[in-house]
């Protein structure tokens, strides 16, 4: 739509998603120069500027500065702004305030969904988490609803919808409204997705805060997987170059180890390299014809597999080195104690030592948040002491970080009164002597009623294991955390799908602050149709029951679209893949972005422009 020579400005975080769908030569069609938004253009001879951007106020100011600078110097050009995934009114307002609204034309590129793998679709909106859960900004809900509408038009109406969380409820309701307005493009189609489950990230922060120990999660924690690909540095490639590797099901080696607990990965890789060697060695006993076949058909595949194998072995070694340096075992032990509610004092001392040694500001924050959430808030004395030590170790600018963490509920202080039982309060009123003070302190950790503890007990999140938990042959989803904890988010999804609704989970829902819904045949009315625990027609098969024959009519019932609003971790993906395999159904993941503990903490630290 913009013929002729032009300069193209692309927002930095649209680069990776674009990379997955279009190579640079497609983008450079009639483009003279390519700039990253943020870098000031040199003197440009182009008569047209095109901006491909996220709808952010900061970016609008950047564009307005360029337009105004041109005006000042008397230079006339055409300016086009393309917003992805959609344009927001606030952006137009800023352009108007800056006096350039009349000089630019605006357009939208509805790039809502990026398939990262055959079962993972990402909206690539990492800012969703901070914008919604911290700032209370609802603008992205429209994008989620439109993404659901797109899926609905491609795969027909969703059979049954479940969800928990305010954001999930709003997104679902808005999507229903959009469907009604558009008279549903997908209505004529055969439904291919039987169940959809929407979940807010704040339903389960604990899982996102834990250290990941499945291979894909560890690679993400160590090297950062961006848009499905990862940069392996010289320490992995054993050369002086870095290599960008696409990690998905097409990678024959990766697809077999991605969901495995890290302790099983080395064994698998060494077995794989022995098999590979055996295949290479076969050529010694071949005649000419066989050799010709081998070279034309197998050799290329073997070489590719060999290259991938050495990369993943390099990655494992690099992870091992880094984790040994960080006292990873100690850290995992402290985390497991927090999850189980044992040795809280010891874990608190571990966190203090971690802060004092200045191991890593992100890791220290993560451990403090995990302590706070599992304990339902820190006792004021601990909160003040940890906060002071943290600010002294990592700098006073983190005062704002503590404010953010408190606001979002990740790191909170218990108010006086909730720490003591009624009897203890009476005792401490009667006895003001110092010894009694000490006794009360000792009782504190026993007396606190933590929601996480209560939910954990209700849903059996901490497996009771006799003997050693076998990580090579996992028996439940807890394997993704070394058998110590079943991810809460995944357990909720399992329970609701098993019961076909929230019936019998009322207590859990109350502890999770409600906002649950269950709607059968989402072609029917909105939320009112389902309400809590609504079963819908129960002639449908109990979803997580693998006894039903392979009947094509049931096929769609086997598909569950799990929608995570605020990010989803690779550990949760691995756990639900395991559940799907066990119960004969298939999970497809739709997430606003892939997240992990470090990304969550960084979202709280970053000063928002």
> Containing H/E element for 564?
strand 559-565
Q: Measure the CA–CA gap between 4 and 104, rounded to whole angstroms.
A: 17
Assess whether pLDDT exceeds 70 at residue 543: no
Mean pLDDT of 353-357: 94
Position 592 scores a pLDDT of: 96
Position 532 scores a pLDDT of: 41
Contact between 402 and 409 (Cβ < 8 Å): no
Position 4 scores a pLDDT of: 85
Position 235 scores a pLDDT of: 87
Q: Measure the CA–CA gap between 124 and 424, rounded to whole angstroms.
A: 50
Instruction: From 112, 257, 285, 210, select the one nearest 481 (Cα to Cα).
Output: 210
Assess whether pLDDT exceeds 90 at residue 123: yes
First CA to last CA across the chain, in angstroms? 32
The pTM of this model reads 0.86
Mean pLDDT of 491-515: 91
In DSSP terms, which residues pair with 520 in a beta bridge?
A: 160
The DSSP letter of residue 596 is -
Position 550 scores a pLDDT of: 53
Q: Measure the CA–CA gap between 187 and 180, rounded to whole angstroms.
A: 11
Position 192 scores a pLDDT of: 87
Position 263 scores a pLDDT of: 87
CA-based torsion, 98, 126, 317, 270: positive or negative: negative
pLDDT band at 545 (very low <50, low <70, confident <90, very high): low
pLDDT digits (tens, 9 = 90+) for 131-171: 999 999 999 999 999 999 999 988 888 889 999 999 999 99
Q: Measure the CA–CA gap between 270 and 255, rounded to whole angstroms.
A: 16
DSSP-derived secondary structure for 323-370: HHHTTHHHHHHHHHHHHHT--HHHHHHHHHHHHHTT--HHHHHHHHHH
Assess whether pLDDT exceeds 60 at residue 207: yes
Q: Tell me which residue has tokens 């076909």.
A: 500
In DSSP terms, which residues pair with 231 in a beta bridge?
A: 244
Tokens, residue 69: 């600078």
Assess whether pLDDT exceeds 50 at residue 546: no
Q: Measure the CA–CA gap between 74 and 72, rounded to whole angstroms.
A: 5
* CB neighbour list of residue 269: distance below 8 Å, 6 or more residues apart: 253, 257, 309, 312, 313, 316
Angle, vertex CA 398, rays to CA 393 and CA 403, nearest 5: 135
Position 471 scores a pLDDT of: 81
In DSSP terms, which residues pair with 107 in a beta bridge?
A: 82
Position 468 scores a pLDDT of: 78
% residues pLDDT > 70 (the chain)? 84
Q: Measure the CA–CA gap between 518 and 506, rounded to whole angstroms.
A: 13
Cα 364 to its chain centre, rounded Å, is 20
Mean pLDDT of 442-464: 70
The DSSP letter of residue 77 is -
Contact between 337 and 349 (Cβ < 8 Å): no
Instruction: From 256, 208, 213, select the one nearest 487 (Cα to Cα).
Output: 208
pLDDT digits (tens, 9 = 90+) for 301-329: 778 778 888 888 999 999 988 888 778 88
pLDDT band at 42 (very low <50, low <70, confident <90, very high): low
Assess whether pLDDT exceeds 70 at residue 280: no
Q: Which residue has the higher pLDDT, 556 or 207?
A: 207
Assess whether pLDDT exceeds 60 at residue 219: yes
The lowest-confidence range among 194-198, 290-294, 354-358, 569-573 is 290-294
Q: Which residue has the higher pLDDT, 389 or 554?
A: 389
Q: Which residue has the higher pLDDT, 229 or 275?
A: 229
């Amino acid at each position: 739509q913009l013929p002729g020579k032009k300069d193209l400005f692309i927002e930095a975080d649209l680069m990776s998603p674009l990379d997955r769908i279009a190579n640079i030569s497609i983008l450079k069609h009639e483009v003279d120069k390519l700039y990253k938004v943020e870098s000031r253009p040199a003197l440009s001879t182009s008569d047209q500027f095109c901006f491909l951007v996220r709808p952010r106020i900061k970016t609008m100011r950047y564009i307005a500065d360029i337009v105004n600078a041109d005006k000042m110097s008397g230079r006339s050009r055409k300016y086009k702004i393309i917003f992805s995934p959609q344009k927001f009114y606030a952006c137009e307002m800023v352009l108007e305030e800056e006096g350039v609204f009349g000089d630019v034309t605006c357009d939208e590129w509805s790039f809502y969904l990026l398939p990262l793998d055959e079962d993972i679709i990402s909206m690539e909106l990492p800012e969703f988490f901070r914008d919604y859960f911290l700032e209370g900004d609802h603008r992205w809900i429209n994008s989620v609803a439109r993404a659901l509408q797109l899926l609905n038009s491609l795969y027909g109406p969703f059979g049954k919808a479940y969800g928990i969380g305010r954001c999930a409820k709003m997104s679902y309701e808005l999507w229903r409204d959009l469907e009604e307005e558009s008279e549903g493009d997908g209505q004529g189609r055969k439904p291919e997705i039987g169940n959809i489950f929407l979940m807010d990230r704040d339903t389960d922060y604990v899982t996102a805060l834990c250290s990941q120990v499945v291979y894909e999660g560890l690679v993400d924690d160590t090297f950062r997987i961006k848009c499905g690909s990862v940069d392996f540095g010289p320490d992995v490639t054993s050369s002086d170059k870095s290599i960008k590797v696409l990690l998905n099901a097409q990678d024959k080696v990766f697809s077999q180890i991605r969901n495995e607990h890290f302790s099983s990965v080395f064994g698998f890789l060494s077995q794989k390299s022995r098999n590979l060697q055996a295949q290479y060695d076969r050529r010694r006993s071949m005649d000419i014809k066989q050799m010709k076949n081998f070279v034309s058909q197998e050799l290329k595949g073997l070489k590719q597999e060999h290259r991938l194998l050495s990369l993943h072995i390099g990655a494992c070694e690099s992870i091992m080195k880094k984790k040994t340096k960080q006292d990873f075992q100690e850290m995992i032990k402290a985390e497991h104690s927090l999850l189980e509610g044992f040795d809280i004092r010891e874990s608190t001392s571990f966190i203090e030592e971690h802060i004092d040694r200045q191991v890593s500001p992100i890791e220290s924050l993560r451990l403090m948040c995990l302590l706070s959430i599992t304990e339902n808030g820190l006792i004021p004395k601990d909160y003040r002491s940890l906060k002071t030590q943290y600010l002294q170790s990592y700098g006073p600018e983190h005062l704002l970080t503590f404010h953010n963490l408190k606001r979002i509920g990740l790191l909170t202080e218990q108010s006086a009164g909730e720490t003591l039982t009624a009897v203890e309060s009476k005792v401490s009123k009667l006895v003001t002597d110092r010894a009694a003070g000490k006794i009360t302190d000792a009782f504190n950790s026993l007396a606190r009623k933590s929601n996480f503890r209560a939910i954990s007990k209700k849903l059996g999140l901490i497996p009771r294991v006799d003997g050693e938990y076998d990580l090579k042959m996992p028996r439940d989803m807890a394997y993704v955390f070394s058998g110590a904890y079943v991810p809460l988010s995944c357990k909720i999804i399992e329970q609701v799908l098993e019961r076909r609704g929230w019936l019998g989970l009322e207590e859990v829902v109350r502890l999770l602050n409600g906002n649950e819904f269950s709607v059968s045949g989402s072609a029917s009315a909105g939320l009112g149709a389902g309400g809590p625990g609504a079963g819908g027609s129960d002639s449908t098969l109990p979803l997580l029951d693998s006894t039903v024959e392979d009947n094509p009519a049931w096929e769609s019932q086997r598909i569950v679209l799990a929608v995570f609003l605020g990010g989803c971790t690779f550990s949760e993906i691995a756990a639900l893949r395991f559940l799907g395999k066990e119960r004969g159904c298939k999970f497809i993941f739709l997430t606003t972005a892939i997240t992990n503990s470090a990304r969550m903490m960084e979202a709280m630290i970053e000063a928002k422009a």
